[in-house]
A and B are shown apart, each in its own frame.
Chain A
């Protein structure tokens, strides 16, 4: 039976995050959260593998206690087990110090054959977690997976999307996979699973619960990068605005200007 780990993240709906012009801080309060969309594609890929080859899916996330709802969402569509890593010392982590506790917490549940995760997150959008997790888990790596052909004898054959075509690769297990949407659109949960997920037990690990956790490698101290400063994007001076109230007049003015510039 394949042991499958799926990494998920709860993210704020970035389209609704604003910046306080006074303080320069991000206003996240009241902003709805959602499960990172690409993580759901990764989960779907895992569920398809489970349906084809049998297996057990463990969901894992790191975040505040409310991130539990993302795990429940995953349990409703095919997850069997879920781990929440939570606690202040984990806060402020970059990808280096997030991938590490995920490895350590996952180790508490044994060795995994396949690790699925989203290509990137809506908020951080570094797209680095997958590679760094693969390194942490000492796993092979298939990123941008388009379809999974076959899993046999400790190997996985898959097709991945590159800039100019599709590459067919064969990798040894354990293997970390990120997926393209195309064949892995998320599914709707069945009512039974949905209701069951609401009361399902979730393993919660704080920094004290994870065996062998090196406190220097988590949170801010464990991070390779810091963000010393954020600021609102500097806006250039507006261009020439044409607004006569009539689309026809506006457009003829624009066409005139573009013709002058030689753009058309």
Chain B
């Protein structure tokens, strides 16, 4: 078990000297939000000091001071995570990248952009579009930082067609635990040059180094797009249509799944029932939202016609078209509101972000609902049907927190076991943090988990980077 030192006034003064008075916070001046992410249920932990960094050099100086004094450092972006990843379990320093929010340079010849880690996803997405380009990863939380997206290897809706954040990271500037600055990767699309430390860094949640600059791959902006909402009577028929759609060679950009409960919550929340609860006088049990991109309207029409045929065969109630800019805006707003809508009418909430093979989605959903009913916990879910990634929320308004946690643990334990049984993964895109560490260990097995620990030790021998996360179980009592 690692031991850490307290931040003495001398050390504090050194840290303050690096960033200056205005970007250094201590005690009561620290933003209380720094004690948690969007899942406060996993506990709140305040740091002793918070610094807002602006340059790679500052990060390097901070790390030098902290490694010399064995002070833990937890890197934080926008704090929109869902597994307690940016929470300073061992106190120490929170190093916040929110001020490193510059889009540095586009290389329009090679379609890459160099940015700082604190750039918000929505800002990168919008700015790329202004340049006629698209940043393909599209995680639901648009106010996350891209640095955070890399640290968790965030996925999002368009993963079906374009892949996940990892596939768009070409190069990183990383500050190591001892303050050394290294460059990983180059702005080229191929590499076969030794172990990929670049990809080790992606998804490492600030436990191996601090990302201070990155080069991301972009693609030309699609010329036009259209979405189809395909409603079904029930979850089973809905999910069973997904492989058929994928096999029909339609190359959808995303296939999103929503059941009747989430549609109702979202309509109540946004006040706009864009996703219908009844179609052709039949109650909708679940729907998928399929998005296509293409070069012209004809191409999209052809894809939709084909989708119509597949959907009809799969028992869809209808196929509805989201084509006008107003409808797209509304559909997007509704889809984006799912998590918020759940949070809005829920006092206690916990979540899981499993991935199962697409054909196993109904099995898993039926199982988890049953678990919910047995334990008196309301289950809400939505997810990326195209890649089997499900967001499942355990909610309660009546239970005391302790009672809730107990019941949820029963559900989680059983659900992760079921997930393993179905050959699934613990996390699709929210990653591990400290909340899901035990489940990671169970899922990958002792050997792999230990190997991860060995790697951590190589990068961070004193365990000062984001202690207690991913595979560092030293803080678990």
Contact A191 B273 (CB under 8 A): no
- Whether, in the assembled complex, A130 has its beta carbon less than 8 Å from a beta carbon of chain B, the answer is no
What residues of chain B lie closer than 8 Å to A192, measured between beta carbons?
Answer: 308
Contact A191 B320 (CB under 8 A): yes
Which stretch in B142-150, B170-178, B321-329, B422-430 binds the other chain?
Answer: B321-329
Q: Which of A35, A187, A194, A195 has most chain B Cβ within 10 Å?
A: A194
Whole-angstrom distance between the Cβ of A13 and the nearest chain B Cβ: 8
Separation of A141 and B342 alpha carbons in the complex (Å): 41
Interface residues of B in 220-244 (CB under 8 A from A): 228-229
What residues of chain A lie closer than 8 Å to B22, measured between beta carbons?
Answer: 245-246
Contact B229 A188 (CB under 8 A): yes
Contact B276 A194 (CB under 8 A): no
We find that the number of chain B residues with CB closer than 8 angstroms to chain A is 23
Q: Mark A41-77, 1 if CB is under 8 A from B, else 0.
A: 0000000000000000000000000000000010010
Interface residues of B in 306-340 (CB under 8 A from A): 307-308, 318-327
Whole-angstrom distance between the Cβ of B176 and the nearest chain A Cβ: 30
What residues of chain A lie closer than 8 Å to B322, measured between beta carbons?
Answer: 188
Whole-angstrom distance between the Cβ of A96 and the nearest chain B Cβ: 29
What residues of chain A lie closer than 8 Å to B308, measured between beta carbons?
Answer: 191-192
Query: Given contacts A195-B305, A245-B22, are A76 and B321 in contact (CB under 8 A)?
Result: yes
Contact A185 B272 (CB under 8 A): yes
Separation of A189 and B229 alpha carbons in the complex (Å): 10
- Whether, in the assembled complex, B301 has its beta carbon less than 8 Å from a beta carbon of chain A, the answer is yes
Contact A194 B272 (CB under 8 A): no
Contact A194 B324 (CB under 8 A): no
- Whether, in the assembled complex, A190 has its beta carbon less than 8 Å from a beta carbon of chain B, the answer is yes
What residues of chain A lie closer than 8 Å to B228, measured between beta carbons?
Answer: 191
Contact B320 A188 (CB under 8 A): yes
Which residue of A is nearest B322, CB measured?
Answer: A188
Whole-angstrom distance between the Cβ of B58 and the nearest chain A Cβ: 16
Contact B274 A194 (CB under 8 A): no
What residues of chain A lie closer than 8 Å to B326, measured between beta carbons?
Answer: 34-35, 37, 40
Whole-angstrom distance between the Cβ of B337 and the nearest chain A Cβ: 15
- Whether, in the assembled complex, B471 has its beta carbon less than 8 Å from a beta carbon of chain A, the answer is no
- Whether, in the assembled complex, A32 has its beta carbon less than 8 Å from a beta carbon of chain B, the answer is yes
Contact A194 B323 (CB under 8 A): yes
What residues of chain A lie closer than 8 Å to B276, measured between beta carbons?
Answer: 187-188
- Whether, in the assembled complex, B59 has its beta carbon less than 8 Å from a beta carbon of chain A, the answer is no
Separation of A34 and B324 alpha carbons in the complex (Å): 8
Separation of A73 and B326 alpha carbons in the complex (Å): 11
What residues of chain A lie closer than 8 Å to B272, measured between beta carbons?
Answer: 185
Separation of A189 and B327 alpha carbons in the complex (Å): 10
Q: Mark B260-298, 1 if CB is under 8 A from A, else 0.
A: 000000000000111010000000000000000000000
Contact A190 B318 (CB under 8 A): yes
Contact A189 B321 (CB under 8 A): yes
Interface residues of B in 184-235 (CB under 8 A from A): 228-229
Which listed residue, A32, A34, A185, A189, touches B274 by the CB 8 Å rule?
Answer: A185
What residues of chain A lie closer than 8 Å to B324, measured between beta carbons?
Answer: 34-35, 73
Separation of A132 and B305 alpha carbons in the complex (Å): 43
- Whether, in the assembled complex, B304 has its beta carbon less than 8 Å from a beta carbon of chain A, the answer is yes
Whole-angstrom distance between the Cβ of A61 and the nearest chain B Cβ: 15
Contact A188 B274 (CB under 8 A): yes
What residues of chain B lie closer than 8 Å to A76, measured between beta carbons?
Answer: 321
Interface residues of A in 71-120 (CB under 8 A from B): 73, 76
Separation of A13 and B328 alpha carbons in the complex (Å): 15
What residues of chain B lie closer than 8 Å to A34, measured between beta carbons?
Answer: 324-326
Which listed residue, B29, B273, B301, B318, touches A195 by the CB 8 Å rule?
Answer: B301
Contact A191 B325 (CB under 8 A): no
Whole-angstrom distance between the Cβ of B439 and the nearest chain A Cβ: 38
Whole-angstrom distance between the Cβ of A84 and the nearest chain B Cβ: 18
Contact A188 B321 (CB under 8 A): yes
Separation of A13 and B320 alpha carbons in the complex (Å): 24
Interface residues of A in 19-39 (CB under 8 A from B): 32, 34-35, 37
Separation of A37 and B29 alpha carbons in the complex (Å): 47
Which residue of A is nearest B324, CB measured?
Answer: A73
Query: Given contacts A195-B301, A195-B305, A245-B22, are A189 and B325 in contact (CB under 8 A)?
Result: no
Separation of A224 and B320 alpha carbons in the complex (Å): 43
What residues of chain B lie closer than 8 Å to A248, measured between beta carbons?
Answer: 29
Query: Given contacts A35-B326, A246-B22, are A191 and B274 in contact (CB under 8 A)?
Result: no
Contact B321 A194 (CB under 8 A): yes
Whole-angstrom distance between the Cβ of B354 and the nearest chain A Cβ: 30
Separation of A35 and B325 alpha carbons in the complex (Å): 10
Separation of A185 and B272 alpha carbons in the complex (Å): 7
Which listed residue, A73, A191, A245, touches B319 by the CB 8 Å rule?
Answer: A191
What residues of chain B lie closer than 8 Å to A40, measured between beta carbons?
Answer: 326
Separation of A40 and B276 alpha carbons in the complex (Å): 16
Contact A185 B229 (CB under 8 A): no
Query: Given contacts A185-B272, A195-B305, A246-B22, are A190 and B319 in contact (CB under 8 A)?
Result: yes
Separation of A13 and B326 alpha carbons in the complex (Å): 10
Whole-angstrom distance between the Cβ of B403 and the nearest chain A Cβ: 38
Which residue of B is nearest A198, CB measured?
Answer: B301
What residues of chain A lie closer than 8 Å to B323, measured between beta carbons?
Answer: 189, 194
What residues of chain B lie closer than 8 Å to A187, measured between beta carbons?
Answer: 276, 320
Separation of A188 and B334 alpha carbons in the complex (Å): 14
Whole-angstrom distance between the Cβ of B295 and the nearest chain A Cβ: 17
Which listed residue, B29, B321, B327, touches A191 by the CB 8 Å rule?
Answer: B321
Separation of A198 and B305 alpha carbons in the complex (Å): 13
What residues of chain A lie closer than 8 Å to B305, measured between beta carbons?
Answer: 191, 195
Give 14 pairs: A residue, B residue, CB < 8 Å, sorted on A: A32-B325, A34-B324, A187-B320, A188-B274, A188-B320, A188-B321, A188-B322, A190-B319, A190-B320, A191-B305, A191-B320, A194-B304, A194-B323, A195-B304
7 A-B pairs with the lowest CB-CB distances in the bound complex, closest first: A188-B320, A191-B319, A194-B321, A191-B308, A189-B321, A190-B318, A246-B22
- Residues on B lying within 8 angstroms of A by beta carbon are 22, 29, 228-229, 272-274, 276, 301, 304-305, 307-308, 318-327
- Residues on A lying within 8 angstroms of B by beta carbon are 13, 32, 34-35, 37, 40, 73, 76, 185-192, 194-195, 198, 245-246, 248
- Given contacts A188-B321, A191-B305, A194-B304, could you give 20 more A-B pairs where the C-beta distance is less than 8 Å? A32-B325, A34-B326, A37-B326, A185-B273, A185-B274, A188-B229, A188-B276, A188-B320, A188-B327, A189-B320, A189-B321, A189-B323, A190-B319, A191-B228, A191-B307, A191-B308, A191-B318, A191-B321, A194-B321, A195-B304
